[in-house]
Every structure is written in structure tokens, then in C-alpha cells.
Structure 1
Amino acid sequence: MKLRLPGRRPAETKPDPAADLTAQLTAAGKGRPTPKRSEAQGRRPGPPPPPPTTRKEAYKRMREQQAAGRGSAREAAARGDDSALPARDRGPEKRLVRDVVDARRNAGSLFLVVAALVLVGYFIPNTAVQSYTVFLWFAFFLVIIGDSIVLGRKIKKVVAERYPNARTRGLVWYGISRATMIRRWRFPKPQVELGATV
């Protein structure tokens, strides 16, 4: 205990900032215990694999890594992830065109089926069958042209409504070429159901 001389003021006690901070933390509380270092850092990966001993093994590892990367990128592109798509399929306008095409039934999607029938008809040694094959091919070609005109007008209309500054010329051809593919073979995969309103 310190003695105080008469006539002297008691020494003012300065607040200790460290004690003040400790009191604040104690009062506020973190709400959870401090995690262990192993929990905070997470599970560490195991030791790295030993380096390849031969060129053949190094080439095999490189191919496995490339295949894993390609698989994940292809899955992302098939889902329509814009960052994983090739340049010709990127952009909101192209996605809109894909949705317009995928939401309707297109005559062009039967192109490969009719082409196979026509090819088979050419090999049948019967002039009547061959003439019918030519007629079928010509009629189907006219149907595809008519359907493509209707599809092109619809694409222009929908794109002009949502993206007034977009160039529709390349988008129309993009949609028509997609419409000639069988639905399940289209890439990126269709994101809308048949008959959906786009």
C-alpha cells in the first residue's frame, strides 16, 4: 500500500488498452470455442505421388489429367454453362435462340432419318421406288425450307424483343443449323421442354 503525502494529488490510473480489449471480447463473446489448428486448416492432402520413372508413365499421367479436365469441361458445356462453351455458342442471344429452337418441333430434326430412307431407296432396283424416293426427297426439302423460314421469323421476332441491338443474321442461321439436328444429339443439351413458352 502506497502512502500519500499531503498536498499531492492521487496519481491518475491510465486505462490499459489490452485489458479493455480483453474485457470487450469477454463481454461480447465469439459464440464458439477456438478451433484446433487441424480443424481450422482442414484436412491436408496426402503426400504427392512419386515422380514418374519412365516417359511412358509420365505420358499416361498427363493423358489421365487431360481426360479428367475435358470431362468436367464437357459436362459444364452440356449444361449450358457460358464459360465452358465454345465461342460460337456463347452469349445470352445464342442461349435464347437455342431455347426457341428446342421449344418447338422442327421438320429439320427428321433430316437424317429421311436422308437414310432416300439412300436406301436409291439402292432398290425398282424404278417406281426410286422415283418415289426422289419425290419424297424433293417434298421434304420444300418442307424444311418452309419450316426454316417460319423458324427464322420467330427467332428474329423474339431476339428483337429482348435484345434490340443484337444482329439477327448470324443468329437465324445458328438456330436453323441447330434445328436440323436430332434433339437428343444437340449440344449444348436442350434446357427447355417441347412446347415451353420462351
Structure 2
Amino acid sequence: MADAQGTSRSLDYPRPVALLRNKQSETPEPTPGLLPGTGDGKGRPTPKRKEAEAANKRPLVPTDRKSAGRDAKSQQREARARQYQAMKAGDERYLPAKDKGPSRRYVRDYVDARWNIAEFFLPIALVFFVVMIATTGRAGAASFVILAALYLLVLIAVVDAVIMWFGLKKRLRAKFGEVPKGTAFYAVMRAFQLRRSRMPKPAHAKHGVYPK
């Protein structure tokens, strides 16, 4: 009996205070920068995918369409005015794409320096047309002669434009090494315009000043 009592006395059972301390020591400490109940360090819960997509959406059409339309028209007017002034002054920064580039400037200077029969075609054709209307029903032969002369003028103007183009084409190849596509049409159309009405405006006031 004495041994049994001694054995029971020698066995020490854990006290409640020790168990409580062990549980407190096993509890992980909160990570600095994180708020309780959150999974990141932003101080707020992570937004859902739908909420994020909705926040990133932007309207394709402006809310105030009238105001946007007025602004667009105003910008277009300013661009046209700036382009017109550039065509008068020869400022290549604001010229249309079809008139930009050193080769196009060279074409304009060459055509403007030359006396082209085609540039007189429109005023002469207008005079012929008025005379033909005035003589219609009175002198059939005169109307026929005027019409034949008009066709002859067209033929001469076309032949002169072709001669002009071959000379210009040779110069372009010698200076730039190539002839860009559409240059022939660009040169001929400018040759058929009155010199004063050509846009961009001729760089030189008189004929005979050829580009180098």
C-alpha cells in the first residue's frame, strides 16, 4: 500500500496553467501590414473579377454626343484651314499626303517652270464652246471648224504633256533613283491647271526657274 501511494504521488499530471501557456505559444502571431480578416496587405478585400472588369470598362460613345460632335467639327475646320494656309505658303508639315515629299516638290517646280500648252486648254476650250453655241443654227460649217479645232487643241495638249513627262521622268531617275507610283498622273494633272489656280502655289513667280 505504501508503494502504491508513493507511486501515485510521484506521477505529476499537467496543470491547467501549463496547458494554457502551451496553446498560447502555438498560436501564430499576425503578420505585420495585414488587417484582421483580410488576405492581402492592401487593407481591403480583393475585388472579384466581375467587379474589376466593370471598373475597367469605358464607354465607347461619349456621354455628351453633341459636345463631342462640335469639338470634332471644330478640329476638322482648324485642320482644313491649316492645310489651306500650308498649300499657299508651301509648308510641307501640313500638306496633304499626296503633296508631301521631295519628289513631289520637284515635280511641282518642274511643271511650274515650263510653259505647258495644257494650262491654256481650259480658257481656250471655254471660248471655243461659247463661239460654237453662238454660231449653232447659223453657220454649220463654222461650228464644225470650231469643234475640229477644239479636238486638235486636246491632241496637242496631250502630246505636249507626254513630252513634258518623259523629260521629267528622266530627271527624277537621275536625282532620286526611282519614280514613285502615281507621279505621272500628278504631273499631268498639274500641267492642265491654270498656273494661278495651282495648289500648292508655285514656289517661283515666273516660268523658267527649273529645280536642280
Q: TM-score range by the shorter chain?
A: 0.5 to 0.7
Count of aligned positions: 141
| Percent of paired sites with the same residue | 29
Which residue does the alignment assign to 1:145?
A: 158
2:146 matched to which residue of 1? 133
User: Which residues of 2 match residues 142-181 of structure 1 at below 5 A?
Assistant: 142-167=155-180, 170-181=182-193
Give the partner amino acid of 1:179: A
So what's the TM-score if we normalise by structure 1? 0.63
The Cα shift of 1:183 comes to: 0.4
Aligned to 2:202: 190
Instruction: Compute the displacement of 1:197 (Å).
Output: 2.7
- Name structure 2 gaps, 5 residues minimum: 1-65
Alignment match, 2:20? none
Q: CA deviation at 1:67?
A: 4.5
Which one of the candidate residues 106, 113, 135 is aligned to 1:96?
Answer: 106
Give how far 1:92 is off.
Answer: 0.9
Report what 2:88 is aligned to: 78
Deviation at 1:142, TM superposition (A): 1.8
- Offset from partner CA, 1:43-98 (integer Å, 9 cap, x none): xxxxxxxxxxxx8xx96x98777645533331112222222111111111111000
The 3-state SS of whatever aligns with 1:114 is helix
Normalized against structure 2, the TM-score is what?
Answer: 0.59
Amino acid aligned to 1:187? M
Higher relative contact order (CA 8 A, sep 6+): 1
Cα distance in structure 1, aligned partners of 2:207 and 2:178:
28
Give the partner amino acid of 1:97: V
Residue number in structure 2 paired with 1:43: none
If you compute each CA radius of gyration, which structure gives the higher value, 1 or 2?
Answer: 2
Q: Give the 3 Å change call, closer, same or farther, for CA 149–70 of structure 1 in structure 2.
A: closer
Q: Aligned equivalents of 1:160 and 1:62: distance in 2? A: 42
What does the per-residue CA deviation read over 1:141-194, in whole Å, with 9 as the maximum and x for residues that have no partner? 121122011111111011011100333x52122101100000000000001231
Structure 1 portions without partners, runs of 5+: 1-54
Confirm or deny: 8 A CA contact 2:83 2:96 kept in the other structure: no
Change (3 A) 1:105 1:80: same
Q: Report deviation, 1:107.
A: 0.6
Distance 1:69 1:141, change over 3 A: closer
Asked if structure 2 preserves the Cα contact closer than 8 Å seen for 1:155 and 1:172, the reply is: no
What displacement does 1:135 show? 1.9
CA RMSD of aligned residues (A): 2.3
Matched letter for residue 130 of structure 1: S
Paired AA for residue 77 in structure 1:
M
